[in-house]
Structure 1
Amino acid sequence: MENVKTLPNARQRMYNISFLLFCLCLLDAIFTDIGLRNGFIQEANPFMRSIYNSSILLFYVVKTLLPLSLLYLSTILQPKLYLRFMMIGALILYVIILSSHLLWIILISLKIG
Structure 2
Amino acid sequence: MQRLGLILFIAAASFTDAILTDFGLRLGSIGEANPLMLWLYQWNAIAFFLLKLSLPLLLLLVIPKLLSKVLQNLLYLTSAIYLCILSLHGVWLLEQFTTI
Band of TM-score, shorter chain: over 0.9
Counterparts of residues 36-55 of structure 1 (less than 5 Å): 36-55=25-44
The reply to whether residue 70 of structure 1 matches residue 59 of structure 2 is: yes
Unpaired stretches in structure 1, ≥5 consecutive residues: 1-11
User: Which residue in the other structure is 1:100 paired with?
Assistant: 88
- Do the aligned partners of 1:14 and 1:79 also contact (CA within 8 Å) in 2? no
State how many pairs are aligned.
Answer: 100
User: Which residue in the other structure is 2:97 paired with?
Assistant: 109
Normalized per residue, the structure richer in helix is 2
Could you report, residue by residue, the CA deviation over 1:25-84 in whole angstroms, capped at 9, with x for unpaired residues? 110011001111111111111100000000000000111111010122233x13221111
Residue identity (%): 30
User: Which residue in the other structure is 1:89 paired with?
Assistant: 77
- Measure, in 1, the Cα distance between the counterparts of 2:67 and 2:6: 12
- Aligned CA-pair RMSD: 1.3
Q: Is the partner of 2:98 in helix, strand or coil?
A: helix
- Tell me the TM-score normalised to structure 1 length: 0.83
Moved over 4 A (4+): none
